Amino acid sequence: MTSIAFDAIPRDRLPGLLRDAPKAELHIHIEGSLEPELIFRLAQRNGVALAYPDVAALRAAYAFTDLQSFLDIYYAGASVLLHEQDFFDMAWAYFERAAADHVVRAELFFDPQTHTARGVDIGAVVGGLHRACEQAQSALGISASLILCFLRHLSEEAALATLEAALPYRDRFIGVGLDSSERGHPPEKFARVFARARALGLHLVAHAGEEGPPAYIESALDILHVERIDHGVRCLESPPLVARLAALRTPLTVCPLSNIKLRVFNSLGEHNLPALLAAGLCATVNSDDPAYFGGYINDNFAATFAALPALGPRQGYALLRNGFEASFATPAEKAAWISRLDAAFQAALPDVAG
Ligand code: HPA
Ligand code: ZN
């Protein structure tokens, strides 16, 4: 374990340190990285009609009041994606942006049902995204993997059919997740499809405790056997659950700007990220749907640290290191990234050699 003199890192070096440090992004819906400009470009390319006349009008509609109000517009935005190249272009735009934020590991959620419902072949979805992941590694040095998410507002039968349809591409995704409308769709609704994914050796994650209660986090752990909880911020309402998550170091993929836009918290200054860390939880920082929530991963770090005085160099290091530890990369990859992270923090110490 490295010993870094966090208290000796000058406060004014922290923003640059967080910006330039190597980082992992573990909670990014690739359809949520679709910027309005690209939505319009793809709409034109594919002859898809949009309900908004231009980019400004679409952006103006990004005024959400809760998760569902966001999802309605997020699914409408995704309607321009039809061909393999569209999925490649969307993911490639994200990877270029992620590289600028010094992301070295990205685990991308994708929602096949959003596309197959419009008649798009699942092979085109997975194929385009996978090709972008390969190019991210070769051209940008980003290690990238895909996690297939089931839409929880749809039935478990639909999720099972989606998993079966994806099996010809089994080597192109590393896990399954659960997203979309949380309230009223508890994890146990998907017990069988997660059991099937588990038997296939896939990694398991689920959104829980964003809008839903701590009981949803418990059932994601007990019934779905997930390895990470996406969001999970409502765990603090249950001290026994916090103790369990801390003891097992179950990662939480927290998305601060998302939580403000969807009104999980009233302001960043009220976000519970410092309390999650103080409770010993393996919290990480992520962007969720960066094109819709006002920023990519570095924007999330910068805004959150600016708003919360309790977050300093020690917490910054913990969040970045947790991201690597919580990732589904190999132990060798993780160790290499953590060495780079340590070196970045050591380099931020004042020069005492005199
Ligand atoms: N929560 C649930 N489903 C989602 C989200 C989210 O934040 N983003 C995209 N799908
Ligand atoms: Zn999410």
Q: Which of 210, 218, 270, 325 is an active site residue?
A: 210
pLDDT at 283: 99
Between the CA of 256 and the centroid of ligand 1 the distance, in Å, is 13
Distance CA 114, CA 161 (A): 14
pLDDT at 354: 41
Instruction: Name residue 215's amino acid.
Output: A
Structure tokens at 60: 């103006």
* Nearest CA owner, ligand 1 atom 4: 180
Active site residue 25: no
* Nearest CA owner, ligand 1 atom 7: 288
* Nearest CA owner, ligand 1 atom 3: 180
155: Cβ contacts below 8 Å, ≥ 6 apart = none
Between the CA of 148 and the centroid of ligand 2 the distance, in Å, is 12
CB atoms within 10 A of CB 124: 19
Q: What angle do CA 291, 292, 294 make, to 5 degrees?
A: 80
Structure tokens at 30: 């690739």
Q: How far is CA 187 from the centre of its chain?
A: 18
Give the number of whichever ligand sits closest to the CA of residue 230.
Answer: 2
Per-residue pLDDT tens digits of the chain, which is 354 residues long: 568 999 999 999 999 999 999 999 999 999 999 999 999 999 999 999 999 999 999 999 999 999 999 999 999 999 999 999 999 999 999 999 999 999 999 999 999 999 999 999 999 999 999 999 999 999 999 999 999 999 999 999 999 999 999 999 999 999 999 999 999 999 999 999 999 999 999 999 999 999 999 999 999 999 999 999 999 999 999 999 999 999 999 999 999 999 999 999 999 999 999 999 999 999 999 999 999 999 999 999 999 999 999 999 999 999 999 999 999 999 999 999 999 999 999 999 998 654
Among candidate residues 250, 315, 236, 259, the one with its CA nearest the CA of residue 282? 250
Query: What string of DSSP letters covers 214-257?
Result: HHHHHHHHHTS--SEEEE-GGGGG-HHHHHHHHHHT-EEEE-HH
Burial 98-108 (b: 16+ CB within 10 A, else e): bbebbbbbbbb
Q: How far apart are the first and last CA of the chain?
A: 27
Question: Which residues approach ligand 1 with their CB closer than 6 A?
Answer: 29, 32, 67, 74, 179-180, 207, 210, 258, 288-289
Between the CA of 333 and the centroid of ligand 2 the distance, in Å, is 25
pLDDT at 352: 60
pLDDT at 351: 80
Domains of the chain are: 17-353 (3.20.20.140)
Distance CA 186, CA 69 (A): 19
